Amino acid sequence: MLIDLLHQQFSNLGDLRMREIRVDKQQRKVFCTLSYPASPYFDNDAKAQITDFVRSHMPKGYLCSVKFAEDVFTVNSFIRNLSDYIKEYYPVFSNVGKQRMEVRIDGKQIYASLKVDAVTRKNMELTDFCQKLSEHYAEYTSYTVEFALISDEGNITANVSEQEKLVRLAINRELLRPTRFFNISGQRTLFGKNIAAMPMYISDLRKPMDSCNVCGKVSSKSCRKAKNNPLLYVCSFTLTDGTGGSLPCVLFVRMQITDVETIMSETGCGEAEAKTLSEKRSLANDKKLKDILWLSDNMDVAAHGKVVYGQSGQLEMHVYDLCTCKIDPISSEREFNREVAPEYLLVKPEDCTEFRQINFVDNLSQTSLLSGKSYVVLHVNSTGFGNVIEDRLYAICAVKLLDGHVRERFFTYVNPEKELSDERALEQCGLTSAKLIFYPTLTEIISDLYKFVYGSSLVGNNLTQILQLLDYYAAPMNYRFDNPVVSQTDLLGQLFENSTLEVTVNLAKLDDVAKKCKVSCPNGVFCRDTAMTVARCMSMLSGNAK
């Protein structure tokens, strides 16, 4: 290991630690982070010598970036570091948060205690969790770190609930894998390896993926030599499939060195052998160039590679394998046909049946616009509605009315899968950015939401944009929200006209509507409150029909 070589070379720096080594094969770069306690011996000259030593041990052709961190911990900084490490590498134990850690630092010794219940403690002991933490910090810091488990029986119920939630999340992720794929045949390998797996729809790509297969027609193909490496060709093109999706692709084609003297110096072989090797490499390079030139617009290909965010902020693929192929057409059968799930997996609706006292003088046979119908008031809190890729939901609430009576409420916070900057909007919903990561993603709750609204007409504002966003995440699982849509203001207006109330009301202001209906509205911006307020107003107006 590199750290062992560093300790041999710099024997006076025994507290030196290699905190991170990250390799970017595409850019051919290595990023290293080392740490050392504050010391007059560890000056700029020592850092320069260490940097030169690390770079001298890099693979040929790789650039190296070396950074240094000060190896000093306080109680708070160690708790924060430990909590982040557990969340990232041991999510099953993420319920052991900062508030359940006790840390004491004595010189270069750190004593850390974790408060856990009986179930978590047993799981940690079976997996040698404390030993693994000790091994990690032995390589990460020069402090000697000891870990201990403390029983905390007061949180058994909460922790079991968290474990059940994690299990349900895992099940749901497995059930909600994309189900739409292309069938391809007649593959001919151009670069890399043959692609045997079925490619997914480009329109179903939602986030970066380490491994992905797609297919489609080539367009906007261009090829150039890399500026800093004459042996590297960069081939760019766009793939478009029959689903309306398109994906920018980049293929890096590396040529082999053919210079005889260079081959002799690198391999140590004789001149005759080097010439033979040079000829073989030249033929291989010529074949690669022909394949690059043969790749043209309107050609059907399948590509395997890594999906990342490009410089423009949009998804693009770094192609490792490329094959020509024949793409079977999309089936003419109904595209969205997944049946309603038999049970709720993550979000179970809350029963909120509200009974209305019937006056003895009321006409019991009266009917309203809601009689015999099922409506769902759907409200969300989001970052916007203009872009289904950029805009995200972070809370969603749906309230069901049957025959004019409030029956169930479906509510959950949503993990937006990106950092949200509007902390004020989050605070109005009783949230912080740190809390959101512990809730299910929109993809994970799609099945439950689809089950809840199935067969009902949707009531709300901005429903067209909301459903576009929901369908964007539902499409890979063969769901589509094709419910009838009713404008909230239009329906409330019709209910007021058909009621015995003779009032003038501003339908665009929910607090005004709630006041006229004598319904409370605790928070006019939080979807959990606004959806329930609208549902109660609808129920009240339905009960006062003419």
> Nearest CA to 121 among 89, 88, 159?
159
CA within 13 Å, CB half, 183: 4
368 three-class SS: coil
Decide: 436 and 416 in contact? Cβ < 8 Å: yes
Containing 529, the helix (H) or strand (E) segment is helix 527-543
Closest CA to 239 of 179, 177, 182: 182
The answer to whether 435 and 446 have CB atoms below 8 angstroms apart is no
Instruction: Find out whether 414 and 395 touch, Cβ atoms under 8 Å.
Output: yes
The pair of structure tokens assigned to 15 is: 């507290």
Q: How far apart are CA 488 and CA 505, in angstroms?
A: 14
Instruction: Return the number of other C-beta atoms located less than 10 Å from residue 450's C-beta.
Output: 19
β-bridge pairing 232-240 and 246-254: antiparallel
Q: What is the predicted pLDDT for the residue at 248?
A: 94
pLDDT at 365: 46
Q: Say if residues 337 and 331 touch (Cβ distance below 8 Å).
A: no
Measure the CA–CA gap between 147 and 170, rounded to whole angstroms.
29
495-531 in b/e form (b: 16+ CB < 10 A) is bbebbeeeeebeeeebeebbebbebebeeeebbbbbb
Residues 535 and 401 sit within 8 Å (Cβ to Cβ): yes
Q: Cα–Cα distance between 544 and 538 in angstroms, integer? A: 10
Q: Is 128 exposed, middle or buried (0-12, 13-18, 19+ CB in 10 A)?
A: exposed
Pairing of strands 63-70, 29-36: parallel
Question: Which of these, 40, 26, 47, lies nearest to 310 by C-alpha position?
Answer: 26
The amino acid at residue 145 is: V
Retrieve residue 217's tokens: 């027609």
CB-based contact 231:252 (threshold 8 Å): no
410 in Cβ contact with 449 (< 8 Å): yes
Please give the chain's pLDDT, 546 residues, in tens. 688 888 888 888 888 998 888 887 767 788 899 999 888 778 888 899 999 999 988 888 888 899 999 999 999 899 999 988 888 788 778 778 888 899 999 989 999 999 888 878 888 887 788 998 998 999 899 999 999 998 875 554 445 555 565 666 565 555 556 667 888 999 999 888 888 888 988 888 877 888 899 999 999 999 988 888 888 899 999 999 887 789 999 999 888 888 888 888 877 888 888 889 889 989 988 988 888 888 999 999 999 999 988 877 788 999 999 999 999 887 655 555 678 888 888 888 999 876 554 444 444 445 788 988 999 999 999 988 877 777 889 999 999 999 899 999 999 999 887 777 777 888 888 887 777 877 888 888 898 999 999 999 999 999 999 998 898 888 877 788 989 999 999 999 999 988 888 778 888 899 999 998 989 888 889 999 999 999 999 999 988 887
Tell me which residue has tokens 């490496």. Answer: 229
Domains of the chain: 2-70 (3.30.70), 75-175 (3.30.300), 184-327 (2.40.50.140), 350-543 (3.30.420.10)
Cα distance between residue 413 and residue 437, in whole Å? 10
For position 116, what pLDDT does the model report? 87
Query: Residue 145 has which token pair?
Result: 């770190």
Residue 22's pLDDT is what? 84
3-state DSSP helix/strand/coil % of the chain, to nearest 5 = 35, 30, 35
Q: Check: pTM over 0.75? Answer yes or no.
A: no
Distance between CA atoms of residues 255 and 233, nearest Å:
8
Q: Give me the sign of the Cα torsion angle 240, 242, 244, 245.
A: negative
Looking at residue 441, what DSSP letter applies?
B
